[in-house]
Amino acid sequence: MRNKNTLAIINANSFIPRNIELLILVLILLVGLYLRLFVVSTTKIDTPFRADARQYTAYAYNLRSHGVYSNNSNTAVNKTITPSPDAFRSPGYPLFLYPFTYSKNFNRFAINVFYVQATLSTLTLVVVYFLGRGLLGVLGAFAAVALTAISPHLINLNLYLLTETLFTWVTMLTLGMLVFSMKSNSDSGWILSGILLAFAALVKPTIQYFAIFVIAWVLIDVANNRKIKIGLLIAIPFFSVFSIWLIRNLLTLGFFSDTGLTINTLHHGMYPQFMYNGQSSSFGFPYRFDPDSAAIAASIQSVIETIIHRFHTQPIEHLTWYLSKPFYFFRWEMIQGAGTFIYPVMDSPYHSSRLFIFIDGLMHAVHPIVVGLSVLGAIIAWLPRHLLSMTSLHRLTARLLSLAYGYFIIVHIAGAPFPRYSVPIRPITYILGLLPICIAATIIKDKMQAPPNKGQKS
pLDDT band for position 444 (50/70/90)?
confident
The reported pTM is 0.93
pLDDT band for position 3 (50/70/90)?
very low
What HEC string does 401-428 produce?
HHHHHHHHHHHHHHCCCCHHHHHHHHHH
For residue range 255-309, what is the model confidence (pLDDT) as tens digits? 999 888 899 999 999 999 999 999 999 999 999 999 999 999 999 999 999 999 9
CB atoms within 10 A of CB 237: 19
Helix ranges restricted to H, 226-353 = 227-253, 260-268, 293-296, 300-313, 315-329, 349-352
Q: Residue 338: what are its φ and ψ, rounded to 5°?
A: -135, 115
Beta-carbon contacts of residue 435 (< 8 Å; ≥ 6 apart): 135, 136, 140, 373, 377, 380, 381, 398
Element counts in the chain: helices (H) and strands (E): 17, 2
pLDDT on residue 458: 41
pLDDT on residue 2: 41
| 450 has a pLDDT exceeding 80 | no
Which of 53, 414, 419, 71 minimizes the C-alpha distance to 263?
414
Helix ranges restricted to H, 89-186 = 92-97, 106-150, 152-157, 164-184
Per the CB < 8 A criterion, the answer to whether 128 and 431 are in contact is yes
Per the CB < 8 A criterion, the answer to whether 60 and 97 are in contact is yes
* Average pLDDT of the chain to the nearest whole number: 91
DSSP string, 348-393: -HHHH-HHHHHHHHHHHHHHHHHHHHHHHHHHHTTS-TTTS---HH
- How far is C-alpha 162 from the chain's CA centre? 13
Which of 420, 402, 347 minimizes the C-alpha distance to 154?
420
Which amino acid makes up residue 265? T
* 98-102: long-range contacts, CB 8 A cutoff, minimum separation 24: 98/60, 98/63, 98/64, 100/60, 101/60, 101/61, 101/63, 101/64, 102/64
